[in-house]
Chain A
Amino acid sequence: MVQALPSADAPAPDKSGDDAPLLRIASVTKRFGGVVAVNNLSLDIRAGEFFALLGPSGCGKSTLLRMLAGFETPDAGRILLDGTDIAPVPPHQRPINMMFQSYALFPHLNVAGNIAFGLKRAGMSGIDIAARVAEMLALVQLEGLETRRPDQLSGGQRQRVALARSLALRPRMLLLDEPLAALDRKLRESTQAELLELQRKLGTTFIIVTHDQGEAMTVADRIGVMDRGSLVQVASPRELYESPNSVWVATFVGDINFIEGLVVTQKGNLLTLRTEEAGTIIVTSTVKPVAGMTVPLAIRPEKIRISSETASSELANALRGQIVDINYLGDSSIYYVKLTSGSVMKVTASNIVRSDTGFFALGQRVSLSFSPDACIVLDR
């Protein structure tokens, strides 16, 4: 877990101890007509944290963010900032700022005017505003573009202006609604790194909404995965990937293969299962299934070793199959291996050599193996 960093401007007033969250979302529900967008959701976010809300479109993550900004009011539940309910506080009085997906830059104002917009409303003096605008421009590396209008900027520059504008008021919390969705891949990756660096430097609490799991993994300290209005798992990126708590999360975050396994025996945390696809499998597991139960076994494609050697099929955790499809991605290849049982496993292999010896061919017979702790045993 990442420690809360002290804020650059105003250190978080932690009067009630270290574990008091900056933001507490308590049993919040929001309906639109008959549709429940956010369903009885509770979440604590610590000061200085970079938190990502991850989920497919329509899962309610944006609605939750808009409730934090004050553009929507919860139908039930409370939102507490520093222990105070902010429900009656209108958006323009909340110490929270938002960076919009469309950036929402004012087209009639230039870059400096956009960044200074909130500062003027806050009643800062002209000298202070100029200093803050210069500081913000330096922060997002846009010096020299003060007098440009938004329509004279590139997509990446606009994104930076929007970021500078939302940070200019030094909010307690910055909300980012799909901030990088409009950028192309290369720019998105470099911007993710900059965003992370910026957050570390300022110590401001960031809450980002994204449907891109790679983005969430890269920037966030913790990720909350949402589905149909509820948080299904809140965990660090690594925990989320290596130990998803449900079939849904395992499928949504990254690629995964599923096998049904019948529990045969259990010794300590070593579980022996019999599967139709892979014969006998031995896995380490923290969950305690009862012998005789059928459980879903999940295994990530990169955790399967693929080799042309013929391993004995009597061995545990070794399967045989034939390559039926190959996706060559440059740094790695994805092999689709049809097992003797008929089901298809997805396996990724790093392309560590350039010559043909490092690659497998379509139709080639291969053997697959994995270590006992590569598998995830999921609850039904």
Chain B
Amino acid sequence: MGASRNFSRPARIAAIAPYLWMALFFLVPFFFILKISLSQTAISQPPYEPLFDLTQGLEGVKRAAAQLSVENFHLLLSDSLYVLSYLRSIVVAAVSTFILVLLGYPIAYGMSRLPRGWQALVMLAVIVPFWTSFLIRIYAWINILQRDGLLNDILIALKIVSTPLVWLSTDTAMYIGIVYSYLPFMVLPLFATLSKMDASLLEAAADLGCSRRQAFWLVTWPLSLPGVGAGALLCFIPIIGEFVIPDLLAGSSQMMIGQTLWGEFFTNRDWPVASAIAVILLLVLLAPLLVYDRLQRKQLEGRS
């Protein structure tokens, strides 16, 4: 730890590249958003009061600093509409991630136990949906879930129900859409973890008195937790900000934060509030990222 390490010049340049990328495409845009979130709406183009007018020199910057306002953030915390949107997003993301783990783990586990040739084929089956536009796939779900859609047709044909059920514009439809869309993001990291697991560990467990079920819970499951964590994060974070799926499949009574943000930005044309929503969302997402980072760091430290 903390030992001085010598890297070659090319290695140093290669190490800088990701930081440069992050600065250019994340930090700079984020700074713009942060700036707008501290401003006020105005009937102008763009629709907010400019903060920094460098043409007026130092005086202008000083005046701008005096005008900075956290009023938008006050609004977000005081109006239950926003707080409920955040909460709904977190709940939807958590429930979806939980379902994804339940569904994705057996799939990934089964894949990792297949012979090599079959693994490639099943992997292809997991990836193939990506070849079609995401939006088209969600519209296909609208088709399947509507009143005279495929799902109701099948349920009626199998005599499970006698009258068509309402699927569309419900939370169920939204969860179906989310789980369907994010399943590969859960399956792939899990598969990567499970397939590189040393088979002799399971033999050792059996040798030391474990039945197959015990060996799974005592060896396979704990060793696959990093994969579960990676898959869960890969799903949880984008689901929180999901806009298209709840907008097309869920009802309009409750909104996820992505929908609220969209409304503020396009319907209300309140860019500063929309930006403030985005800033808070980022802070909310930072929490699971930091937890995961900590866990990984702990693992790495254990290894060195």
Contact segment of A91-99, A128-136, A283-291, A305-313: A91-99
Q: Which chain A residues lie closer than 8 Å to B208 at the CB level?
A: 92, 97, 117-118, 121, 165, 169
Q: Report Cα–Cα, A49/B205, bound state, in Å.
A: 26
A98 touches B222 (CB 8 A): no
A69 touches B302 (CB 8 A): no
Q: Which B residues between 254 and 277 are near A, CB-CB below 8 angstroms?
A: none
Interface size on A, residues (CB 8 A): 26
Q: Report Cα–Cα, A362/B206, bound state, in Å.
A: 58
Q: Which chain A residues lie closer than 8 Å to B302 at the CB level?
A: 149, 151-152
Q: Which chain A residues lie closer than 8 Å to B205 at the CB level?
A: 106, 117
B201 touches A92 (CB 8 A): no
Q: Report Cα–Cα, A98/B207, bound state, in Å.
A: 7
A91 touches B203 (CB 8 A): yes
Q: Which A residues between 56 and 108 are near B, CB-CB below 8 angstroms?
A: 69-71, 90-93, 97-98, 100, 102, 104-108
Classify chain B's interface size: 10 to 19
Q: Which chain A residues lie closer than 8 Å to B211 at the CB level?
A: 90, 92
Q: Report Cα–Cα, A107/B218, bound state, in Å.
A: 12
Given A107-B223, A151-B302, A152-B302, A100 and B206 touching (CB < 8 A)? no
Specify which of A92, A104, A149 is in contact with B210 (CB 8 Å cutoff).
A92
B222 touches A104 (CB 8 A): no
B206 touches A92 (CB 8 A): yes
B215 CB → nearest A CB, Å: 8
Q: Report Cα–Cα, A169/B210, bound state, in Å.
A: 13
B117 CB → nearest A CB, Å: 16
B209 touches A121 (CB 8 A): yes
A173 CB → nearest B CB, Å: 12
A151 touches B303 (CB 8 A): yes
Q: Residues 237-259 of chain A: 1 if any B CB is under 8 Å from the residue's CB, otherwise 0? A: 00000000000000000000000
Q: Report Cα–Cα, A97/B203, bound state, in Å.
A: 11
Q: Which 5 A-B pairs have the closest CB atoms?
A: A118-B208, A121-B209, A104-B204, A104-B200, A91-B206
- B residues at A contact (CB < 8 Å): 198, 200-201, 203-211, 214, 218-219, 222-223, 302-303
- A residues at B contact (CB < 8 Å): 69-71, 90-93, 97-98, 100, 102, 104-108, 117-118, 121-122, 149, 151-152, 165-166, 169
